[in-house]
Amino acid sequence: SAASILGGAVPLTGILAGVVLVVVEAFAPAISHFLYGSMKYVVPVRIFGATVAVYIVSSTPAAVVLLNHRVDFFNYSKLILDLAKAGGLLVGSISRDGVGAAMWVLLIGALLKCSVDFFLAAHLIGGFSLHSLRLRKREIRANLGLGVPMSAAGVVSVALASGDRIAVSRLYGPEQLAHYSLAVDICSKAYFLVWAITGTLYPLVVRGAAARRDVSIYRNAALIAVVLVGALVYLPIALVAPRLIGWWLNPAMAAGAGPVTSIWALVAVIYLLMWVLYNQLQAKGRPYLLLAVNLLGLAILAIGIWAIPLTFGIRSIAILMGSIFAVQACVLWVLDRGVNRE
């Protein structure tokens, strides 16, 4: 039954969350020093580790919600975390503790999201109790074969997603990091328009791939959505980014963040194209291929940061990220065609 499957998966994700929590807690001083060159952020790093652990636990009930075609429920619970992120920024800006206060708000948001995910999953499968939580050999084998490489791919993906900001911070300083982060945040706000499509199609791709049917129609539908979002959202952003930021914030911020925002508008479209192909391969159950693609992106980022000319400023980092996503998209396209021929 669905309740039995959920009961077998939750203990495994709980163990994984525990491992992540222990590792982050143990290496928090080293992480703080590496990211910020200071030991003052050890506590926020540990709080963030707890947040990641809670988010890992919530991934199982969230998957149940998504596989029941309730994208609306899935997005409602995700909205909780989005509000927590915004609330953390607000609280952090007015609190003396700053980053620490923001991390506490984020942790509370993750706990609320996790609770809502379990409630929604239980509602969809007709009930769920703590008595069904047990480790089963069958689920352990399945999760070791699929869940562990997918989790590893997720960890590498997080490192890739944050690596550019770390590079900007270390190479160009906090002021340029603020400009770069603003550009990325503006251009990531419309991702949900494509994620809503891929989230709706994901269960159909899973079932079609399991039945060995051609699922390229779903990929093509998602790619058309990316083109539309690019034309209707990101093209205007690329054209008016400096004026938009100047009107919203101030001319100084517009001068610093405007050019890189225009570049990131194109990078965002490339990322969404890559995401559609990534999502297809994920639905077809190819975790090791996804892990390899993420490791390739991380390797390109590391080499690019080492070889990049500092004279181009933060725009060069944005171009590097676009190049990484483009390479990943090409590789994913080739891999997907290979999987379809199997």
DSSP at 215: -
- Distance of alpha carbon 40 from alpha carbon 96, whole angstroms: 13
Predicted pLDDT at 141: 62
Taking 70 as the pLDDT cut, the residues of the chain under it are 1-9, 35-36, 66-72, 89, 93, 127-155, 310, 342
- Distance of alpha carbon 166 from alpha carbon 88, whole angstroms: 20
Phi-psi region of 213 (alpha: psi -120 to 50; beta: other; left: phi over 0): beta
Each residue of 17-74: pLDDT tens digit? 888 889 888 888 888 877 667 788 888 888 888 888 888 888 777 777 766 666 667 7
Predicted pLDDT at 67: 66
| Residue 7 amino acid letter | G
Q: How many C-beta neighbours within 10 Å does residue 309 have?
A: 7
- Distance of alpha carbon 87 from alpha carbon 81, whole angstroms: 10
Sign of CA dihedral 35, 36, 38, 44: negative
Instruction: State how far Cα 20 lies from the chain centre.
Output: 17
Sign of CA dihedral 169, 171, 174, 176: negative
Among 191, 193, 198, CA closest to 218: 198
